[in-house]
Structure 1
Amino acid sequence: MRRIRAATAVVAVVGVVVLAGCGASGNDSTSGDAAPAPAAKQGSGSGESAGNAKPQAPTEGKSEAAGGGGNEQPAITRAIIKSGSLAVEGDDVSGMRQKAVAAIGSLEGQVASEDTGSDSDGKITRSNLVLKVPTKSFETAIQRLSDLGKRTQIHQESTDVTEQVVDVASRIESQRASLDRMRALMAKANTIGEIVSVESELTRREADLESLLAKQKNLALQTDLATLTLTLTEKGKPPAITEPKEDKGFVPGLKSGWNAFTAAFTSIATAVGALVPFLVLLAIILVPLWLFRSKLRRRPAALPPPAANSGQ
Protein backbone atom coordinates (compact mmCIF):
# COMPACT_ATOMS: atom_id res chain seq x y z
CA MET A 1 0.00 0.00 0.00
CA ARG A 2 2.71 2.36 0.94
CA ARG A 3 4.42 1.73 -2.36
CA ILE A 4 1.22 2.27 -4.24
CA ARG A 5 0.62 5.57 -2.41
CA ALA A 6 4.18 6.65 -3.00
CA ALA A 7 3.92 5.81 -6.66
CA THR A 8 0.63 7.65 -6.86
CA ALA A 9 2.16 10.66 -5.14
CA VAL A 10 5.10 10.62 -7.51
CA VAL A 11 2.78 10.36 -10.51
CA ALA A 12 0.71 13.23 -9.13
CA VAL A 13 3.79 15.38 -8.59
CA VAL A 14 5.05 14.58 -12.06
CA GLY A 15 1.64 15.35 -13.48
CA VAL A 16 1.53 18.68 -11.67
CA VAL A 17 5.01 19.51 -12.90
CA VAL A 18 4.08 18.53 -16.44
CA LEU A 19 0.85 20.56 -16.27
CA ALA A 20 2.76 23.51 -14.87
CA GLY A 21 5.28 23.24 -17.68
CA CYS A 22 2.55 23.01 -20.25
CA GLY A 23 0.82 25.96 -18.71
CA ALA A 24 4.03 27.94 -18.72
CA SER A 25 4.74 27.01 -22.31
CA GLY A 26 1.11 27.78 -23.15
CA ASN A 27 1.44 31.10 -21.47
CA ASP A 28 4.69 31.72 -23.25
CA SER A 29 3.21 30.73 -26.54
CA THR A 30 0.12 32.78 -25.85
CA SER A 31 2.18 35.76 -24.86
CA GLY A 32 4.35 35.18 -27.90
CA ASP A 33 1.30 35.04 -30.08
CA ALA A 34 -0.28 37.97 -28.33
CA ALA A 35 2.81 40.13 -28.52
CA PRO A 36 2.97 40.08 -32.25
CA ALA A 37 -0.76 40.67 -32.43
CA PRO A 38 -0.60 44.24 -31.12
CA ALA A 39 2.50 44.76 -33.17
CA ALA A 40 0.68 43.45 -36.18
CA LYS A 41 -2.26 45.64 -35.30
CA GLN A 42 -0.02 48.61 -34.89
CA GLY A 43 1.74 47.63 -38.03
CA SER A 44 -1.55 47.35 -39.80
CA GLY A 45 -2.55 50.69 -38.40
CA SER A 46 0.72 52.26 -39.46
CA GLY A 47 0.39 50.45 -42.72
CA GLU A 48 -3.02 51.98 -43.16
CA SER A 49 -1.69 55.40 -42.26
CA ALA A 50 1.29 54.79 -44.49
CA GLY A 51 -1.10 53.59 -47.14
CA ASN A 52 -3.10 56.73 -46.62
CA ALA A 53 0.04 58.80 -46.65
CA LYS A 54 1.30 57.25 -49.84
CA PRO A 55 -1.79 58.09 -51.85
CA GLN A 56 -1.88 61.47 -50.10
CA ALA A 57 1.57 62.39 -51.28
CA PRO A 58 0.59 62.32 -54.97
CA THR A 59 -2.61 64.11 -54.08
CA GLU A 60 -0.63 66.83 -52.40
CA GLY A 61 1.73 66.83 -55.32
CA LYS A 62 -1.23 67.15 -57.65
CA SER A 63 -2.71 69.89 -55.58
CA GLU A 64 0.62 71.67 -55.59
CA ALA A 65 0.87 71.10 -59.30
CA ALA A 66 -2.68 72.23 -59.68
CA GLY A 67 -1.95 75.17 -57.44
CA GLY A 68 1.16 75.91 -59.42
CA GLY A 69 -0.83 75.58 -62.59
CA GLY A 70 -3.45 77.90 -61.14
CA ASN A 71 -0.84 80.45 -60.12
CA GLU A 72 0.94 80.29 -63.45
CA GLN A 73 -0.47 82.82 -65.87
CA PRO A 74 -1.60 81.41 -69.22
CA ALA A 75 0.74 82.09 -72.05
CA ILE A 76 -0.40 85.30 -73.72
CA THR A 77 1.19 86.68 -76.85
CA ARG A 78 1.89 90.34 -76.23
CA ALA A 79 0.30 92.69 -78.77
CA ILE A 80 2.76 95.49 -79.51
CA ILE A 81 2.28 98.41 -81.89
CA LYS A 82 5.64 99.64 -83.14
CA SER A 83 6.38 102.84 -85.01
CA GLY A 84 9.41 104.96 -85.73
CA SER A 85 11.14 107.44 -87.98
CA LEU A 86 14.55 107.38 -89.62
CA ALA A 87 16.53 110.05 -91.46
CA VAL A 88 19.39 109.09 -93.77
CA GLU A 89 21.51 111.27 -96.05
CA GLY A 90 23.74 110.30 -98.96
CA ASP A 91 25.10 111.34 -102.32
CA ASP A 92 22.46 109.62 -104.47
CA VAL A 93 18.94 110.03 -103.09
CA SER A 94 17.37 108.27 -106.05
CA GLY A 95 19.59 105.22 -105.60
CA MET A 96 18.94 105.15 -101.86
CA ARG A 97 15.22 105.29 -102.50
CA GLN A 98 15.36 102.32 -104.87
CA LYS A 99 17.45 100.33 -102.40
CA ALA A 100 15.05 101.21 -99.58
CA VAL A 101 12.04 100.00 -101.57
CA ALA A 102 13.88 96.78 -102.44
CA ALA A 103 14.91 96.21 -98.81
CA ILE A 104 11.37 96.67 -97.56
CA GLY A 105 10.05 94.34 -100.26
CA SER A 106 12.49 91.63 -99.21
CA LEU A 107 11.05 91.86 -95.68
CA GLU A 108 7.49 91.45 -97.04
CA GLY A 109 6.77 95.12 -96.40
CA GLN A 110 5.32 97.82 -98.61
CA VAL A 111 5.39 101.53 -99.29
CA ALA A 112 2.24 103.12 -97.83
CA SER A 113 2.88 106.65 -99.14
CA GLU A 114 5.65 108.66 -100.76
CA ASP A 115 6.60 112.31 -101.10
CA THR A 116 9.60 112.85 -103.35
CA GLY A 117 11.02 116.21 -104.44
CA SER A 118 13.65 117.25 -106.96
CA ASP A 119 15.59 120.36 -107.90
CA SER A 120 15.26 122.48 -111.03
CA ASP A 121 17.38 120.00 -113.00
CA GLY A 122 15.07 117.09 -112.12
CA LYS A 123 17.52 115.46 -109.75
CA ILE A 124 15.84 113.90 -106.72
CA THR A 125 17.09 115.65 -103.61
CA ARG A 126 14.69 114.35 -101.00
CA SER A 127 12.28 111.48 -100.53
CA ASN A 128 9.87 110.83 -97.68
CA LEU A 129 8.59 107.26 -97.51
CA VAL A 130 6.00 105.86 -95.12
CA LEU A 131 6.77 102.16 -94.93
CA LYS A 132 4.74 99.25 -93.56
CA VAL A 133 6.87 96.34 -92.40
CA PRO A 134 6.03 93.23 -90.36
CA THR A 135 6.52 93.93 -86.66
CA LYS A 136 8.88 90.98 -86.27
CA SER A 137 11.17 92.53 -88.93
CA PHE A 138 11.02 96.10 -87.59
CA GLU A 139 14.57 96.17 -86.14
CA THR A 140 15.96 94.44 -89.21
CA ALA A 141 14.36 97.06 -91.45
CA ILE A 142 15.90 99.89 -89.40
CA GLN A 143 19.33 98.29 -89.65
CA ARG A 144 19.14 97.75 -93.40
CA LEU A 145 17.84 101.25 -94.09
CA SER A 146 20.49 102.78 -91.84
CA ASP A 147 23.15 101.16 -94.03
CA LEU A 148 21.95 103.14 -97.07
CA GLY A 149 23.95 106.20 -96.01
CA LYS A 150 24.68 108.33 -92.99
CA ARG A 151 21.97 108.03 -90.37
CA THR A 152 21.21 111.47 -88.95
CA GLN A 153 18.10 110.78 -86.87
CA ILE A 154 16.21 107.80 -85.46
CA HIS A 155 13.12 107.48 -83.29
CA GLN A 156 11.33 104.34 -82.12
CA GLU A 157 8.15 103.90 -80.13
CA SER A 158 6.32 100.81 -78.84
CA THR A 159 2.79 100.65 -77.42
CA ASP A 160 1.45 97.59 -75.61
CA VAL A 161 -2.20 97.02 -76.53
CA THR A 162 -2.54 93.50 -75.14
CA GLU A 163 -5.29 94.55 -72.74
CA GLN A 164 -7.27 96.14 -75.54
CA VAL A 165 -6.92 93.06 -77.74
CA VAL A 166 -8.04 90.73 -74.93
CA ASP A 167 -10.91 93.05 -73.97
CA VAL A 168 -12.19 93.31 -77.54
CA ALA A 169 -11.98 89.54 -78.02
CA SER A 170 -13.93 88.98 -74.79
CA ARG A 171 -16.58 91.52 -75.78
CA ILE A 172 -16.94 89.90 -79.20
CA GLU A 173 -17.50 86.52 -77.60
CA SER A 174 -20.10 87.94 -75.22
CA GLN A 175 -21.82 89.80 -78.05
CA ARG A 176 -22.07 86.66 -80.15
CA ALA A 177 -23.60 84.76 -77.22
CA SER A 178 -26.06 87.64 -76.77
CA LEU A 179 -27.01 87.45 -80.45
CA ASP A 180 -27.66 83.73 -80.13
CA ARG A 181 -30.04 84.41 -77.24
CA MET A 182 -31.82 87.12 -79.21
CA ARG A 183 -32.25 84.78 -82.19
CA ALA A 184 -33.73 82.20 -79.85
CA LEU A 185 -36.17 84.84 -78.59
CA MET A 186 -36.99 85.74 -82.18
CA ALA A 187 -37.98 82.14 -82.85
CA LYS A 188 -40.33 82.23 -79.85
CA ALA A 189 -41.90 85.63 -80.63
CA ASN A 190 -45.62 85.40 -81.44
CA THR A 191 -47.02 88.90 -81.69
CA ILE A 192 -46.01 91.67 -84.06
CA GLY A 193 -44.93 93.84 -81.14
CA GLU A 194 -42.62 91.16 -79.82
CA ILE A 195 -41.13 90.55 -83.27
CA VAL A 196 -40.51 94.28 -83.85
CA SER A 197 -38.93 94.71 -80.41
CA VAL A 198 -36.66 91.69 -80.79
CA GLU A 199 -35.66 92.66 -84.34
CA SER A 200 -34.74 96.16 -83.19
CA GLU A 201 -32.59 94.85 -80.37
CA LEU A 202 -31.07 92.22 -82.65
CA THR A 203 -30.14 94.87 -85.22
CA ARG A 204 -28.53 97.05 -82.56
CA ARG A 205 -26.46 94.19 -81.18
CA GLU A 206 -25.39 93.12 -84.67
CA ALA A 207 -24.18 96.68 -85.29
CA ASP A 208 -22.23 96.60 -82.01
CA LEU A 209 -20.66 93.29 -83.04
CA GLU A 210 -19.65 94.70 -86.43
CA SER A 211 -18.04 97.67 -84.68
CA LEU A 212 -16.10 95.36 -82.35
CA LEU A 213 -14.97 93.21 -85.27
CA ALA A 214 -13.74 96.30 -87.12
CA LYS A 215 -11.83 97.42 -84.02
CA GLN A 216 -10.31 93.97 -83.67
CA LYS A 217 -9.22 94.01 -87.32
CA ASN A 218 -7.70 97.46 -86.92
CA LEU A 219 -5.74 96.35 -83.85
CA ALA A 220 -4.56 93.26 -85.71
CA LEU A 221 -3.31 95.38 -88.62
CA GLN A 222 -1.50 97.77 -86.30
CA THR A 223 0.18 94.98 -84.37
CA ASP A 224 1.07 92.90 -87.43
CA LEU A 225 2.55 95.80 -89.43
CA ALA A 226 4.84 98.43 -87.94
CA THR A 227 5.00 101.94 -89.40
CA LEU A 228 8.38 103.41 -90.28
CA THR A 229 8.83 106.89 -91.76
CA LEU A 230 12.03 107.17 -93.81
CA THR A 231 13.45 110.53 -94.86
CA LEU A 232 16.18 110.49 -97.49
CA THR A 233 18.11 113.68 -98.20
CA GLU A 234 21.13 114.69 -100.24
CA LYS A 235 24.33 114.74 -98.26
CA GLY A 236 25.38 118.18 -97.05
CA LYS A 237 22.27 119.90 -98.40
CA PRO A 238 18.98 120.69 -96.70
CA PRO A 239 15.83 119.36 -98.30
CA ALA A 240 14.69 121.45 -101.21
CA ILE A 241 11.67 123.56 -100.38
CA THR A 242 9.46 124.42 -103.30
CA GLU A 243 8.20 127.97 -102.96
CA PRO A 244 4.68 128.56 -104.19
CA LYS A 245 4.49 130.60 -107.36
CA GLU A 246 2.46 133.78 -107.34
CA ASP A 247 -0.51 133.39 -109.65
CA LYS A 248 -1.66 136.36 -111.71
CA GLY A 249 -4.63 136.94 -113.99
CA PHE A 250 -8.41 136.95 -113.92
CA VAL A 251 -8.94 133.47 -112.51
CA PRO A 252 -6.44 133.87 -109.67
CA GLY A 253 -7.95 137.29 -108.90
CA LEU A 254 -11.44 135.82 -108.88
CA LYS A 255 -10.25 133.04 -106.60
CA SER A 256 -8.64 135.57 -104.25
CA GLY A 257 -11.82 137.68 -104.22
CA TRP A 258 -13.96 134.64 -103.49
CA ASN A 259 -11.64 133.62 -100.67
CA ALA A 260 -11.86 137.14 -99.22
CA PHE A 261 -15.67 137.10 -99.53
CA THR A 262 -15.99 133.75 -97.79
CA ALA A 263 -13.60 134.89 -95.07
CA ALA A 264 -15.65 138.07 -94.50
CA PHE A 265 -18.94 136.13 -94.52
CA THR A 266 -17.49 133.67 -92.03
CA SER A 267 -16.44 136.51 -89.74
CA ILE A 268 -19.89 138.13 -89.94
CA ALA A 269 -21.65 134.82 -89.31
CA THR A 270 -19.41 134.22 -86.31
CA ALA A 271 -20.25 137.64 -84.87
CA VAL A 272 -23.98 137.11 -85.42
CA GLY A 273 -23.79 133.71 -83.79
CA ALA A 274 -22.09 135.24 -80.77
CA LEU A 275 -24.84 137.94 -80.50
CA VAL A 276 -27.81 135.57 -80.84
CA PRO A 277 -27.97 134.55 -77.14
CA PHE A 278 -27.94 138.20 -76.05
CA LEU A 279 -30.63 139.12 -78.60
CA VAL A 280 -32.84 136.30 -77.37
CA LEU A 281 -32.45 137.48 -73.78
CA LEU A 282 -33.30 141.06 -74.75
CA ALA A 283 -36.35 139.84 -76.66
CA ILE A 284 -37.58 137.90 -73.63
CA ILE A 285 -37.32 141.04 -71.50
CA LEU A 286 -38.40 143.79 -73.93
CA VAL A 287 -41.28 142.09 -75.77
CA PRO A 288 -43.50 141.75 -72.66
CA LEU A 289 -42.74 145.39 -71.73
CA TRP A 290 -43.67 146.57 -75.21
CA LEU A 291 -46.94 144.61 -75.16
CA PHE A 292 -47.82 145.97 -71.74
CA ARG A 293 -47.12 149.52 -72.89
CA SER A 294 -49.29 149.07 -75.99
CA LYS A 295 -52.11 147.78 -73.83
CA LEU A 296 -51.91 150.84 -71.63
CA ARG A 297 -52.08 153.14 -74.64
CA ARG A 298 -55.18 151.42 -76.02
CA ARG A 299 -57.11 151.74 -72.76
CA PRO A 300 -59.68 154.69 -73.17
CA ALA A 301 -59.36 157.65 -70.81
CA ALA A 302 -61.98 158.05 -68.07
CA LEU A 303 -64.89 160.35 -69.12
CA PRO A 304 -65.34 163.56 -67.02
CA PRO A 305 -68.47 163.69 -64.80
CA PRO A 306 -71.48 165.46 -66.37
CA ALA A 307 -71.71 169.17 -65.43
CA ALA A 308 -74.55 170.23 -63.13
CA ASN A 309 -77.56 171.92 -64.84
CA SER A 310 -77.24 175.64 -64.30
CA GLY A 311 -81.02 176.09 -64.60
CA GLN A 312 -81.67 173.83 -61.73
Structure 2
Amino acid sequence: MVQHVGDKQAEALFHLVDAVERATVLGNTTEQLANDGDSYVKTVAKRFMKNKLAVISLVVFVLLLLTAVFADSLSPHPRDASVGMFQAAPYDNFLLGTDDIGRDVLTRLIHGTQVSMIVGFGSVLIYVIIGTTLGLVSGYFGGIVDSLIMRLTEASMSFPFFMVILTLVSLLGSGIWVVTAVLGILSWPPLCRLVRGQVLTIKEQDFVLAAVATGYSTPAILVKHILPNVLSPILVNATFGIATAILTEASLSFLGVGVKKPRPSWGNILSEAQSLRVLTSEPWRWVPAGILIFIAVLAINFIGEGLREAIEGERKS
Protein backbone atom coordinates (compact mmCIF):
# COMPACT_ATOMS: atom_id res chain seq x y z
CA MET A 1 0.00 0.00 0.00
CA VAL A 2 2.87 2.36 0.86
CA GLN A 3 4.45 1.56 -2.49
CA HIS A 4 1.11 2.23 -4.24
CA VAL A 5 0.83 5.65 -2.59
CA GLY A 6 4.43 6.38 -3.51
CA ASP A 7 3.73 5.55 -7.15
CA LYS A 8 0.79 7.96 -7.18
CA GLN A 9 2.93 10.73 -5.70
CA ALA A 10 5.63 10.10 -8.26
CA GLU A 11 3.09 10.21 -11.10
CA ALA A 12 1.60 13.47 -9.79
CA LEU A 13 5.09 14.97 -9.46
CA PHE A 14 5.89 13.92 -13.03
CA HIS A 15 2.74 15.63 -14.38
CA LEU A 16 3.52 18.76 -12.36
CA VAL A 17 7.07 18.97 -13.74
CA ASP A 18 5.78 18.34 -17.26
CA ALA A 19 3.22 21.16 -16.91
CA VAL A 20 5.89 23.55 -15.62
CA GLU A 21 8.17 22.68 -18.53
CA ARG A 22 5.34 23.25 -21.01
CA ALA A 23 4.51 26.57 -19.41
CA THR A 24 8.16 27.60 -19.68
CA VAL A 25 8.19 26.56 -23.33
CA LEU A 26 4.97 28.47 -23.94
CA GLY A 27 6.37 31.63 -22.35
CA ASN A 28 9.56 31.42 -24.39
CA THR A 29 7.57 30.63 -27.53
CA THR A 30 5.22 33.57 -27.04
CA GLU A 31 8.14 35.97 -26.53
CA GLN A 32 9.95 34.50 -29.51
CA LEU A 33 6.81 34.78 -31.67
CA ALA A 34 6.49 38.45 -30.74
CA ASN A 35 10.10 39.14 -31.70
CA ASP A 36 9.94 36.93 -34.79
CA GLY A 37 6.64 38.51 -35.80
CA ASP A 38 8.16 41.99 -35.76
CA SER A 39 11.13 40.79 -37.79
CA TYR A 40 8.83 38.87 -40.14
CA VAL A 41 6.72 41.96 -40.93
CA LYS A 42 9.83 44.05 -41.60
CA THR A 43 11.28 41.39 -43.89
CA VAL A 44 8.03 41.02 -45.84
CA ALA A 45 7.77 44.81 -46.14
CA LYS A 46 11.33 45.03 -47.50
CA ARG A 47 10.61 42.29 -50.03
CA PHE A 48 7.41 44.06 -51.06
CA MET A 49 9.21 47.39 -51.50
CA LYS A 50 11.63 45.73 -53.93
CA ASN A 51 8.70 45.02 -56.26
CA LYS A 52 8.49 48.36 -58.06
CA LEU A 53 5.26 47.53 -59.86
CA ALA A 54 3.57 46.61 -56.57
CA VAL A 55 4.81 49.82 -54.92
CA ILE A 56 3.54 51.98 -57.80
CA SER A 57 0.22 50.14 -57.63
CA LEU A 58 0.05 50.78 -53.89
CA VAL A 59 0.59 54.51 -54.48
CA VAL A 60 -2.17 54.53 -57.12
CA PHE A 61 -4.54 52.68 -54.80
CA VAL A 62 -3.81 55.05 -51.91
CA LEU A 63 -4.59 57.99 -54.21
CA LEU A 64 -7.90 56.38 -55.16
CA LEU A 65 -8.66 55.76 -51.49
CA LEU A 66 -7.90 59.39 -50.59
CA THR A 67 -10.10 60.52 -53.48
CA ALA A 68 -12.94 58.46 -52.04
CA VAL A 69 -12.44 59.81 -48.52
CA PHE A 70 -12.29 63.46 -49.62
CA ALA A 71 -14.76 63.16 -52.51
CA ASP A 72 -16.92 66.08 -51.34
CA SER A 73 -13.93 68.39 -51.05
CA LEU A 74 -12.34 67.36 -54.35
CA SER A 75 -15.51 67.57 -56.43
CA PRO A 76 -15.59 70.76 -58.53
CA HIS A 77 -19.41 70.78 -58.66
CA PRO A 78 -22.37 69.37 -56.70
CA ARG A 79 -22.77 65.66 -57.32
CA ASP A 80 -26.28 65.47 -58.82
CA ALA A 81 -26.82 69.07 -60.00
CA SER A 82 -27.19 70.12 -63.62
CA VAL A 83 -24.45 72.73 -63.84
CA GLY A 84 -23.53 72.91 -67.52
CA MET A 85 -24.65 72.37 -71.06
CA PHE A 86 -26.19 69.02 -71.95
CA GLN A 87 -23.89 66.38 -73.47
CA ALA A 88 -21.06 68.87 -73.79
CA ALA A 89 -17.48 67.90 -74.59
CA PRO A 90 -14.79 69.05 -72.12
CA TYR A 91 -14.76 72.85 -71.84
CA ASP A 92 -13.93 75.59 -69.29
CA ASN A 93 -14.41 74.18 -65.76
CA PHE A 94 -15.77 70.87 -67.04
CA LEU A 95 -12.55 68.94 -67.62
CA LEU A 96 -14.35 65.73 -68.65
CA GLY A 97 -17.48 67.31 -70.11
CA THR A 98 -21.08 66.81 -69.02
CA ASP A 99 -23.68 64.04 -69.32
CA ASP A 100 -27.12 64.08 -70.93
CA ILE A 101 -28.64 66.36 -68.27
CA GLY A 102 -25.67 68.66 -67.72
CA ARG A 103 -24.02 66.99 -64.71
CA ASP A 104 -20.25 67.21 -64.43
CA VAL A 105 -18.69 63.88 -65.43
CA LEU A 106 -15.53 64.43 -63.35
CA THR A 107 -17.59 65.06 -60.21
CA ARG A 108 -19.57 61.87 -60.75
CA LEU A 109 -16.40 59.86 -61.34
CA ILE A 110 -14.95 61.12 -58.06
CA HIS A 111 -18.07 60.07 -56.17
CA GLY A 112 -18.07 56.78 -58.08
CA THR A 113 -14.64 56.13 -56.54
CA GLN A 114 -16.25 56.51 -53.12
CA VAL A 115 -18.87 53.88 -53.98
CA SER A 116 -16.25 51.41 -55.23
CA MET A 117 -14.11 51.76 -52.10
CA ILE A 118 -17.10 51.37 -49.76
CA VAL A 119 -18.28 48.22 -51.53
CA GLY A 120 -14.75 46.83 -51.82
CA PHE A 121 -13.69 47.30 -48.21
CA GLY A 122 -17.14 46.71 -46.70
CA SER A 123 -17.80 43.39 -48.42
CA VAL A 124 -14.26 42.15 -47.74
CA LEU A 125 -14.58 43.02 -44.05
CA ILE A 126 -17.80 41.00 -43.83
CA TYR A 127 -16.51 37.90 -45.59
CA VAL A 128 -13.14 37.96 -43.79
CA ILE A 129 -14.94 37.87 -40.42
CA ILE A 130 -17.24 35.03 -41.50
CA GLY A 131 -14.65 33.00 -43.40
CA THR A 132 -11.92 33.35 -40.79
CA THR A 133 -14.22 32.43 -37.90
CA LEU A 134 -15.65 29.34 -39.64
CA GLY A 135 -12.21 28.29 -40.87
CA LEU A 136 -10.69 28.52 -37.39
CA VAL A 137 -13.52 26.57 -35.81
CA SER A 138 -13.59 23.93 -38.56
CA GLY A 139 -9.85 23.30 -38.59
CA TYR A 140 -9.36 23.32 -34.82
CA PHE A 141 -12.29 21.17 -33.68
CA GLY A 142 -12.45 18.75 -36.62
CA GLY A 143 -14.91 15.87 -36.47
CA ILE A 144 -18.58 16.55 -37.06
CA VAL A 145 -18.09 20.31 -36.73
CA ASP A 146 -15.53 20.25 -39.52
CA SER A 147 -17.76 18.04 -41.68
CA LEU A 148 -20.79 20.30 -41.28
CA ILE A 149 -18.87 23.49 -42.07
CA MET A 150 -17.12 21.92 -45.06
CA ARG A 151 -20.38 20.58 -46.51
CA LEU A 152 -21.92 24.04 -46.11
CA THR A 153 -18.85 25.55 -47.82
CA GLU A 154 -19.01 23.11 -50.72
CA ALA A 155 -22.74 23.68 -51.14
CA SER A 156 -22.21 27.45 -51.22
CA MET A 157 -19.45 27.13 -53.83
CA SER A 158 -21.55 24.90 -56.08
CA PHE A 159 -23.88 27.76 -57.09
CA PRO A 160 -22.90 30.24 -59.83
CA PHE A 161 -21.57 33.17 -57.83
CA PHE A 162 -22.66 36.08 -60.03
CA MET A 163 -26.11 34.68 -60.79
CA VAL A 164 -26.88 34.21 -57.09
CA ILE A 165 -25.76 37.76 -56.32
CA LEU A 166 -27.80 39.11 -59.23
CA THR A 167 -30.90 37.27 -58.01
CA LEU A 168 -30.54 38.35 -54.38
CA VAL A 169 -29.88 42.00 -55.24
CA SER A 170 -32.92 41.99 -57.53
CA LEU A 171 -35.08 40.56 -54.73
CA LEU A 172 -33.74 42.66 -51.87
CA GLY A 173 -33.56 45.92 -53.81
CA SER A 174 -30.60 47.73 -55.28
CA GLY A 175 -28.41 50.05 -53.23
CA ILE A 176 -24.84 50.39 -52.05
CA TRP A 177 -25.41 48.75 -48.67
CA VAL A 178 -27.44 45.87 -50.11
CA VAL A 179 -24.73 45.15 -52.68
CA THR A 180 -22.03 45.35 -50.00
CA ALA A 181 -23.88 42.99 -47.63
CA VAL A 182 -24.76 40.44 -50.33
CA LEU A 183 -21.20 40.36 -51.68
CA GLY A 184 -19.78 39.97 -48.17
CA ILE A 185 -22.17 37.22 -47.09
CA LEU A 186 -21.66 35.14 -50.25
CA SER A 187 -17.87 35.47 -50.64
CA TRP A 188 -16.60 33.67 -47.52
CA PRO A 189 -16.28 29.97 -48.66
CA PRO A 190 -12.85 30.17 -50.41
CA LEU A 191 -11.33 31.98 -47.42
CA CYS A 192 -12.90 29.50 -45.01
CA ARG A 193 -11.21 26.59 -46.81
CA LEU A 194 -7.90 28.45 -46.92
CA VAL A 195 -7.93 29.20 -43.17
CA ARG A 196 -9.01 25.66 -42.30
CA GLY A 197 -6.08 24.19 -44.21
CA GLN A 198 -3.65 26.45 -42.35
CA VAL A 199 -5.18 25.62 -38.95
CA LEU A 200 -4.95 21.86 -39.55
CA THR A 201 -1.17 22.25 -39.75
CA ILE A 202 -0.66 24.86 -37.04
CA LYS A 203 -2.74 23.14 -34.34
CA GLU A 204 -0.26 20.24 -34.20
CA GLN A 205 2.73 22.48 -33.48
CA ASP A 206 4.40 22.56 -30.07
CA PHE A 207 3.35 26.05 -28.99
CA VAL A 208 -0.34 25.20 -29.51
CA LEU A 209 0.01 21.90 -27.66
CA ALA A 210 1.74 23.72 -24.82
CA ALA A 211 -1.09 26.26 -24.64
CA VAL A 212 -3.62 23.41 -24.40
CA ALA A 213 -1.58 21.66 -21.68
CA THR A 214 -1.34 24.79 -19.54
CA GLY A 215 -5.10 25.30 -19.57
CA TYR A 216 -5.61 28.13 -22.03
CA SER A 217 -9.24 28.45 -23.11
CA THR A 218 -10.15 27.49 -26.67
CA PRO A 219 -11.02 31.09 -27.73
CA ALA A 220 -7.67 32.29 -26.35
CA ILE A 221 -5.79 29.58 -28.25
CA LEU A 222 -7.62 30.39 -31.49
CA VAL A 223 -7.24 34.17 -31.23
CA LYS A 224 -3.82 34.57 -29.57
CA HIS A 225 -1.86 31.60 -30.88
CA ILE A 226 -3.41 30.34 -34.14
CA LEU A 227 -4.94 33.44 -35.76
CA PRO A 228 -1.68 35.46 -35.92
CA ASN A 229 -0.10 32.61 -37.89
CA VAL A 230 -2.82 32.63 -40.58
CA LEU A 231 -3.02 36.41 -41.07
CA SER A 232 -0.68 36.43 -44.08
CA PRO A 233 -2.86 34.32 -46.42
CA ILE A 234 -5.95 36.13 -45.13
CA LEU A 235 -4.38 39.48 -46.05
CA VAL A 236 -3.50 38.31 -49.57
CA ASN A 237 -6.97 36.85 -50.09
CA ALA A 238 -8.62 40.06 -48.85
CA THR A 239 -6.53 42.16 -51.24
CA PHE A 240 -7.72 40.21 -54.26
CA GLY A 241 -11.24 40.25 -52.77
CA ILE A 242 -11.37 44.06 -52.96
CA ALA A 243 -10.69 43.93 -56.71
CA THR A 244 -13.35 41.27 -57.19
CA ALA A 245 -15.91 43.28 -55.23
CA ILE A 246 -15.22 46.46 -57.23
CA LEU A 247 -15.60 44.58 -60.51
CA THR A 248 -18.77 42.81 -59.36
CA GLU A 249 -20.39 46.05 -58.16
CA ALA A 250 -19.56 47.72 -61.48
CA SER A 251 -21.14 44.80 -63.34
CA LEU A 252 -24.31 44.90 -61.21
CA SER A 253 -24.62 48.67 -61.60
CA PHE A 254 -24.07 48.39 -65.35
CA LEU A 255 -26.99 45.95 -65.49
CA GLY A 256 -29.14 48.36 -63.47
CA VAL A 257 -29.45 46.31 -60.27
CA GLY A 258 -26.50 47.73 -58.32
CA VAL A 259 -26.15 51.21 -56.89
CA LYS A 260 -29.32 53.28 -57.32
CA LYS A 261 -29.31 56.39 -59.45
CA PRO A 262 -28.78 59.31 -59.10
CA ARG A 263 -25.90 58.17 -56.89
CA PRO A 264 -23.04 57.61 -59.33
CA SER A 265 -20.86 54.53 -59.56
CA TRP A 266 -18.43 53.59 -62.27
CA GLY A 267 -20.80 50.85 -63.40
CA ASN A 268 -23.93 52.97 -63.80
CA ILE A 269 -21.89 55.72 -65.49
CA LEU A 270 -20.99 53.12 -68.11
CA SER A 271 -24.62 51.97 -68.32
CA GLU A 272 -25.67 55.49 -69.30
CA ALA A 273 -23.44 55.26 -72.37
CA GLN A 274 -24.87 52.22 -74.13
CA SER A 275 -26.24 53.96 -77.20
CA LEU A 276 -24.25 53.94 -80.42
CA ARG A 277 -24.24 57.74 -80.49
CA VAL A 278 -22.60 58.01 -77.07
CA LEU A 279 -20.10 55.23 -77.83
CA THR A 280 -18.97 56.84 -81.06
CA SER A 281 -19.44 60.59 -80.51
CA GLU A 282 -19.22 61.17 -76.73
CA PRO A 283 -16.26 59.14 -75.42
CA TRP A 284 -15.80 61.45 -72.41
CA ARG A 285 -18.96 59.91 -70.92
CA TRP A 286 -17.69 56.32 -70.76
CA VAL A 287 -13.93 56.08 -71.45
CA PRO A 288 -12.82 57.66 -68.10
CA ALA A 289 -15.05 55.31 -66.09
CA GLY A 290 -13.73 52.27 -67.94
CA ILE A 291 -10.14 53.43 -67.44
CA LEU A 292 -10.70 53.93 -63.69
CA ILE A 293 -12.15 50.43 -63.30
CA PHE A 294 -9.20 49.01 -65.24
CA ILE A 295 -6.62 50.95 -63.19
CA ALA A 296 -8.21 50.17 -59.81
CA VAL A 297 -8.57 46.42 -60.42
CA LEU A 298 -5.12 46.14 -62.00
CA ALA A 299 -3.45 48.08 -59.17
CA ILE A 300 -5.10 45.93 -56.48
CA ASN A 301 -4.13 42.72 -58.28
CA PHE A 302 -0.50 43.88 -58.53
CA ILE A 303 -0.54 44.70 -54.81
CA GLY A 304 -1.90 41.23 -54.06
CA GLU A 305 0.77 39.58 -56.22
CA GLY A 306 3.44 41.67 -54.52
CA LEU A 307 2.24 40.59 -51.09
CA ARG A 308 2.06 36.96 -52.14
CA GLU A 309 5.59 36.96 -53.57
CA ALA A 310 6.96 38.75 -50.47
CA ILE A 311 5.32 36.28 -48.08
CA GLU A 312 6.24 33.18 -50.08
CA GLY A 313 9.80 34.46 -50.50
CA GLU A 314 10.10 34.89 -46.73
CA ARG A 315 8.76 31.37 -46.10
CA LYS A 316 11.19 29.82 -48.60
CA SER A 317 14.14 31.65 -47.04
The alignment's TM-score, normalised by the length of structure 2, stands at 0.19
Calculate the TM-score normalised by the size of structure 1.
0.20
Larger radius of gyration: 1
From the two aligned structures, give the one with the greater strand fraction: 1
Which structure has more helix as a fraction of its residues? 2
